[in-house]
Amino acid sequence: MSTAWGRSVPETFGGRVIGSPEGADVRRAILHSDMNAFYASVEQAERPELRDVPLVVGGREETRHGIVLAKSARAKEAGVKTGEALWEARAKCPGLVTVPPRYDVYRRYSELAQGIYCQYTDLVEPFGLDECWLDLTGSLSLSGGDALRVATEISERVKAELGCTVSVGVSWNKVFAKFGSDLRKPDAVTAVTPENYRRLVWDAPVGDLLYVGPATRAKLHSSGIDRIGELACASPELLRRRLGKVGLVLRAFARGEDATPVAPFGTVRGCRERPIKSVGNGLTCPHDIDRPEDAKALVYLLAESVAQRLREARLRASTVAIGVRDARDLASYGRQTTLPRATSATGLIARTAWELLAASEPLDGSHPLRGLHVRASNLEPGDAPQQLDLGFDARRRMLEELDETIDDLRRRFGNACVRRGTELLDESLLDVDVKRDNTVHPEGWFG
């Protein structure tokens, strides 16, 4: 374990601090708390009759969102996997009970759990609804000085107060803390210490490390690296050649040199600190789209939400992009175009997106589509000065005023109070409120 490697690792990458020259600060007390089978556990906590049955939370099959979102321990025992179709899950596990997701309830439980964490430290960084990092380094002396004891207390409190179990990992860095919480489930506390990490972490398959997915694992395997310990001891040059800069980051992760701080509660990246880079909405349609009018209805529905969100954020976009998912092989592709002038007008964004789609898809029944996505990027502030045309376009100003009026109506009476005629052509979309159902998911570490 020489220290020569320390100089070759960049100190920051993608906003992350890694491999500080002095080496990692092993005195930090970082906890990673992961609520086990979150959606299923919340359903079981809310409805005791579901506690002893194999349970999955799944999307609505009639709208073709019928996949397993979360599974209970008993469903897991029967071999049910997250992400598989509900009919596959039922075939594996007769008597399986399926319930639809209730995101408002899950969000409430998530906030309640975060409320418990915040009683121990202000450095609480959520990672999705069910996971959180906590940095207890500064506040540990207030709660007894023993991180493991605090972890056990948190675990017991969540169980008693919410009726859900958590697994907690305790370590000196975020990556090993997460590894610890994944190591033993459910309802366990695992410490990854400088004394035991070589045994606990380094023996594990490299795919267990945060951010080593199937593609990276395959590349590492071809270099003879299958265990996290082998990644930790691999030559930086080899990793840089095989994986680029990320290789060095992963190596630092494997060595426990991740020094990234835990963000204070309420300031997670992507929520407040980082500027919005694009606004997009997508939808898997309840039926395959093979008619131009259905496609147009969906494009307008999505563009409507995108444009409204742009205006709410006081932004204008110059680039409009669409994403298309084929119904037969589920392959996706994207197309984009840049407008001569930035806009937030619904009509303009919708028309541009529709033209993009019409130019790339025949929509004659030969290529049915499963889903569509409309995205606006290349953003600028809504009040940024704009170059005016020599020929004054009064219609443009009128469209903007119309949008403002419609926004105002929707604020007061709901998103469905004013709809475009195009959107009414596809009856299956009548109940869909893209904007209301929009969820901004947590972004990855490499943002």
Partner 1 sequence: MVRGIAGRRKRYVEVEATFLENGSVVPRAVVWGDGRRFPVRAVFGVRACASLKTGGEGVRYDVLVGRARTFLFHERPRWFVEEIVLEGGDV
Considering only 1, 2, 3, 48, the residue that binds partner 1 (CB under 8 A) is 48
The amino acid occupying position 75 is A
161 or 389: whose CB is closer to partner 1? 161
Q: Which two tokens stand for residue 100?
A: 């639809």
CA 191/CA 189 separation, integer angstroms: 7
For residue 99, state whether it binds partner 1 (rule: CB under 8 A): no
Report, in Å, the least distance between residue 43 CB and partner 1: 9
The separation between the first and the last C-alpha atoms of the chain, rounded to the nearest angstrom, is: 31
The amino acid occupying position 66 is G
Taking the CB of residue 273, how many other CB atoms lie within 10 A of it? 9
For residue 390, state whether it binds partner 1 (rule: CB under 8 A): no
Considering only 8, 47, 196, 328, the residue that binds partner 1 (CB under 8 A) is 47
Q: Which is nearest to 122 in space by CA: 111, 112, 114?
A: 114
For residue 57, state whether it binds partner 1 (rule: CB under 8 A): no
Asked if residue 236 has a cis previous peptide bond (ω within 30° of 0), the answer is: no
42 or 379: whose CB is closer to partner 1? 42
Site for partner 1 in 149-168 (CB under 8 A): 159-164
Report, in Å, the least distance between residue 116 CB and partner 1: 8
For residue 112, state whether it binds partner 1 (rule: CB under 8 A): yes
For residue 358, state whether it binds partner 1 (rule: CB under 8 A): no
Residue pair 174/257 in contact (Cβ under 8 Å)? The answer is no
CA 19/CA 125 separation, integer angstroms: 21
Taking the mean position of all CA atoms in its chain, how far away is CA 26?
Answer: 29
**For the window 423-442, what string marks contact with partner 1 as x by the rule CB under 8 A?**
--------------------
Stretch that binds partner 1, among 29-37, 40-48, 232-240, 255-263 (CB under 8 A): 40-48
Q: Which two tokens stand for residue 445?
A: 């570490």
Considering only 25, 46, 77, 404, the residue that binds partner 1 (CB under 8 A) is 46
For residue 104, state whether it binds partner 1 (rule: CB under 8 A): no
165 or 216: whose CB is closer to partner 1? 165
Catalytic residues, which ones? 131
For residue 17, state whether it binds partner 1 (rule: CB under 8 A): no
Residue 344, Cβ density class (10 Å: 0-12 exposed, 13-18 middle, ≥19 buried):
buried
Report, in Å, the least distance between residue 129 CB and partner 1: 16
User: Which three-class secondary structure state does DSSP give residue 28?
Assistant: coil
CA 100/CA 74 separation, integer angstroms: 18
Contact residues: partner 1, CB under 8 A: 45-48, 109, 112, 159-164
